[in-house]
């Protein structure tokens, strides 16, 4: 059965309803905003099929003349918004003075002004949630940073974002803050924003129609070619990411780059390495912020942190892994919450290692810096902000003592070796982007990486699904799980060690950044230091790949050099490893064994795991051997 791909999807019956069909444009402005709003409306066609909602900072307690003023700039109907008013096409709605306004089920909702008044953010965030890909956000002249978080929400839902060119704004703070947070797709004058809106309104990706089966097959072929191109350029395979998400993000880039169909966009991608990077960044964009889903942090403090510190000696670190960490907000939030708990309990002697990993190198570079736009202050309590942030060249930066707790590395959890001996894995709002195939790969990896009784923390909309035999919830609503002592069916599946190298030249050409080069070196060191000692051998047991610290388990014999497992493994382990390999091959399944031996008169215990692997159509069987030092709990 054919699946629907991006670009030419037929509409479902629910999607053809008028209330959902057309895009809505949220226009936010503050000081100096009247002129750019007027110019924008003056340059718009009368009929675009769009709806426009103006959110201007207006003083409470006095009647607004804004609807009357704006009606002189356009032939569209302009009116002050009212509660439960249905939003219609080719009309302009203006926020009333002193109100908070949101969108729900195609209707405007009005509320009294809040204590922390950010009306542009409030509306744009609700617009993103309501309209998804048909949300368009614009931030014009104004002071402060209202609108930045709203644009970020729209972009995360695959909508389109605009910011007024600061050079054309009377008060450029709002545009500049949005640009500093990398939220806008377009930075233009009001007149050019109007021109782009008119173009987007007629783009075939927003005005969708039914397609013939033959056309749909061509779209699917081009879709697969785009996925293959990204894999070749960046080494990340999006084949088993959730299809609806990938469709939306490709479509968004098509609209931005004026590509009317998938084939045209594919050709553009091939010619423009910078667009490959932009699409890759969009594919991995995450909805992240400091202390997101706060109930989870309350549960961590009450249920998990006490266990993490109980009976732990000063020389035993608390080890935490945050895969899919994006730009680091999740990692630093956890570090701050744990630091607060330790200070509250007057515990000072425990070392903490928090590993943040992400498949996007750009995200990791930002996370290492620990510097964020001023808008993050809206998401953090005043007390936390004063204690854990400093002002740094117009940004808010995490203090050094918290940054020193956190180690960031580039890693793809779907393919790269996992971290091991971890006390807690915090992977929130990552699994929602994976299909069942990747769930079946990643959750056993998490089980493998955790210590006995270790914790797994997921997002509020996620669960362990059919892997309940590996994890048990410790709070009523789930989200936080404890590792069960069970034998996982799989850890790393077929294709984990893929024999190809990403084409680094596909990235935008520019001067080599020393920090980037050093960052990549750090990533390799971290994976070597903290990943399990791993050998990949062919069917003759000749070693092809080393991963992690394998030195303690190898002792080459004198004579002719050999990388054969039977000749390079320490003599004390050789017979056990050979037996385990024989069993795994014969039964064609994972074989595990605990081995005790002496090294320099000291007793040692390791876990050996042998895993048969077959890559694609290869006739030879590969052998994956994990050698993991066994830790004793205190």
Residue pLDDT, tens place only, 433-484: 898 899 988 999 899 889 999 999 999 888 998 889 999 999 887 789 999 9
Give the mean pLDDT of 314-323: 87
What does the alpha-carbon distance between residue 624 and residue 565 come to, in Å, rounded to a whole number?
11
What does the alpha-carbon distance between residue 114 and residue 102 come to, in Å, rounded to a whole number?
13
Q: Does residue 297 surpass a pLDDT of 90?
A: yes
Give the mean pLDDT of 103-126: 88
Average pLDDT score over the chain: 81
Least confident of 9-18, 38-47, 551-560: 9-18
What does the alpha-carbon distance between residue 322 and residue 408 come to, in Å, rounded to a whole number?
9
Q: Does residue 116 surpass a pLDDT of 80?
A: no
Specify the CATH number of the domain 294-483.
3.40.50.150
Which pLDDT does position 454 carry in this prediction? 93
What does the alpha-carbon distance between residue 614 and residue 610 come to, in Å, rounded to a whole number?
13
Confidence of residue 4 (pLDDT cuts 50, 70, 90): very low
Token readout for 149 is 């978080």
Sign of CA dihedral 459, 460, 461, 465: positive
Q: 163 φ, ψ to 5°?
A: -135, 140
C-alpha to C-alpha distances, 596 to 84, 279, 308, 575, 593, nearest whole angstrom: 72, 50, 28, 12, 10
Which pLDDT does position 563 carry in this prediction? 77
CATH 3.20.20.60 fits 24-201, yes or no: no
Q: Does residue 387 surpass a pLDDT of 70?
A: yes
Sign of CA dihedral 11, 15, 19, 21: negative
**Under DSSP, is residue 590 helix (H, G, I), strand (E, B) or coil?**
coil
Token readout for 417 is 């070796």
What does the alpha-carbon distance between residue 278 and residue 184 come to, in Å, rounded to a whole number?
13
Exposed / middle / buried, residue 343 (Cβ in 10 Å: 0-12, 13-18, 19+): exposed
CA 509 to chain centre: 25
Q: Return the closest-CA partner of residue 66 out of 99, 92, 102.
A: 92
Least confident of 466-470, 493-497, 590-594: 493-497
CATH topology for 532-629 is Beta-Lactamase (3.30.450)
Dihedral Cα 427, 421, 549, 519, nearest 10 deg:
30
Q: Return the closest-CA partner of residue 189 out of 145, 141, 228, 231.
A: 141
Which helix (H) or strand (E) segment is 546 a member of?
strand 543-547
Confidence of residue 501 (pLDDT cuts 50, 70, 90): very low
Whether the domain at 24-201 and the domain at 213-283 fall into the same CATH topology: no
What does the alpha-carbon distance between residue 326 and residue 38 come to, in Å, rounded to a whole number?
38
Q: Does residue 3 surpass a pLDDT of 50?
A: no
Residue 183 near residue 161 (C-beta atoms within 8 A): yes
Residue with tokens 């908070």: 100
Sign of CA dihedral 77, 79, 85, 87: positive
Which helix (H) or strand (E) segment is 219 a member of?
helix 213-234
What does the alpha-carbon distance between residue 186 and residue 447 come to, in Å, rounded to a whole number?
43
Highest mean pLDDT of the ranges 153-167, 300-314, 600-614: 153-167
Q: Does residue 491 surpass a pLDDT of 50?
A: no
What does the alpha-carbon distance between residue 237 and residue 283 come to, in Å, rounded to a whole number?
11
A 10 A CB-CB count for 361 gives 16
Which pLDDT does position 127 carry in this prediction? 95
C-alpha to C-alpha distances, 139 to 38, 104, 155, 185, nearest whole angstrom: 14, 21, 13, 12
Residue with tokens 């701050």: 336
Q: For the chain, how many residues are written? A: 634
Domain regions of the chain by residue span: 24-201, 213-283, 294-483, 532-629
Contacts of 285 (CB under 8 A, 6+ apart): 155, 156, 249
A 10 A CB-CB count for 529 gives 12
Percent of the chain with pLDDT strictly greater than 90:
41
Confidence of residue 582 (pLDDT cuts 50, 70, 90): confident
Residue 66 near residue 94 (C-beta atoms within 8 A): yes
3-state DSSP helix/strand/coil percent for the chain, to nearest 5?
Answer: 40, 20, 40
Which pLDDT does position 521 carry in this prediction? 53
Residue scoring higher pLDDT (521 or 391) = 391
Specify the CATH number of the domain 213-283.
1.10.155
Which pLDDT does position 506 carry in this prediction? 38
Residue with tokens 């909508």: 159
Q: What predicted TM-score, i.e. pTM, was given to this entire model? A: 0.71
Q: Return the closest-CA partner of residue 330 out of 248, 260, 424.
A: 424
């Amino acid at each position: 059965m054919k699946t629907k791909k991006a670009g030419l999807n037929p509409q479902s019956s629910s999607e053809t309803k008028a209330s959902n069909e057309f895009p809505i444009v949220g226009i936010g402005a503050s000081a100096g905003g009247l002129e750019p709003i007027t110019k924008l409306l003056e340059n718009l066609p009368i009929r675009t099929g769009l709806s426009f909602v103006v959110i201007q900072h207006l003083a409470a307690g006095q009647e607004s003349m804004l609807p009357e003023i704006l009606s002189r700039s356009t032939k569209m109907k302009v009116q002050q918004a009212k509660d439960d008013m249905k939003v219609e096409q080719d009309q302009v709605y203006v926020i009333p003075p002193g109100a908070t306004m949101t969108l729900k089920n195609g209707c405007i909702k009005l509320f009294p002004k809040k204590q922390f008044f950010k009306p542009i953010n409030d509306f744009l965030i609700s617009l993103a949630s309501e309209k998804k890909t048909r949300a368009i956000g614009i931030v014009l002249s104004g002071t402060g940073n209202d609108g930045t978080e709203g644009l970020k929400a729209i972009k995360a839902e695959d909508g389109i974002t605009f910011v007024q060119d600061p050079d054309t704004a009377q008060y450029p703070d709002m545009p500049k803050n949005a640009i500093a947070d990398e939220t806008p797709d377009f930075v233009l004058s009001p007149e050019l924003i109007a021109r782009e809106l008119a173009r987007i309104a007629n783009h075939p990706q927003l005005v969708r129609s039914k397609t013939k089966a033959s056309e749909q097959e061509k779209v699917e072929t081009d879709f697969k070619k785009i996925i293959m191109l990204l894999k070749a350029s960046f080494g990340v395979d999006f084949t088993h990411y959730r299809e609806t998400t990938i469709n939306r993000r490709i479509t968004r880039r098509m609209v931005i780059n004026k590509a009317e169909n998938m084939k045209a966009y594919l050709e553009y991608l091939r010619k423009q390495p910078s667009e490959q990077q932009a699409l890759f960044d969009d594919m991995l964009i995450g909805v992240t912020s400091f202390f997101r889903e706060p109930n989870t942090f309350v549960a961590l403090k009450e249920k998990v942190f006490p266990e993490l510190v109980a009976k732990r000696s000063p020389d035993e670190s608390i080890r935490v892994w945050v895969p899919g960490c994006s730009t680091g907000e999740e990692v630093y939030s956890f570090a701050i919450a744990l630091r607060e708990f330790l200070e509250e309990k007057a515990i000072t002697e425990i070392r903490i290692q928090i590993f943040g990993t992400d498949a996007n190198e750009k995200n990791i570079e930002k996370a290492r810096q620990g510097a964020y736009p001023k808008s993050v202050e809206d998401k953090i309590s005043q007390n936390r902000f004063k204690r854990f942030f400093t002002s740094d060249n117009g940004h808010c930066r995490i203090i050094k003592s918290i940054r020193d707790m956190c180690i960031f590395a580039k890693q793809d959890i779907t393919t790269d070796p996992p971290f091991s001996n971890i006390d807690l894995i915090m992977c929130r709002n990552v699994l929602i982007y994976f299909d069942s195939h990747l769930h079946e790969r990643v959750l056993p990896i998490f089980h493998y990486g955790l210590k006995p009784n270790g914790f797994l923390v997921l997002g509020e909309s996620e669960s362990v699904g059919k892997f309940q035999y590996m994890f048990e919830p410790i709070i009523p609503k789930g989200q936080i799980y404890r590792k069960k002592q069970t034998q996982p069916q799989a850890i790393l599946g077929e294709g984990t060690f893929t024999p190809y190298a990403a084409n680094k030249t596909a990235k935008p050409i520019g001067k080599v950044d020393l920090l980037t080069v050093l960052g990549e070196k750090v990533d390799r060191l971290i994976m070597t230091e903290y990943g399990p000692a791993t050998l990949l051998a062919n069917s003759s047991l000749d070693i092809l790949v080393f991963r992690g610290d394998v030195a303690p388990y190898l002792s080459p014999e004198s004579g002719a050099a050999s990388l054969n497992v039977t000749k390079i493994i320490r003599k004390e382990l050789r017979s056990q490893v050979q037996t385990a390999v024989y069993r795994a091959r014969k039964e064609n399944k994972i074989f595990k064994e605990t081995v005790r031996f002496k090294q320099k008169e000291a007793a040692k215990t390791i876990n050996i795991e042998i895993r048969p692997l077959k890559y694609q159509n290869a006739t030879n069987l590969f052998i994956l051997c994990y050698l993991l030092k066994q830790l004793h709990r205190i």
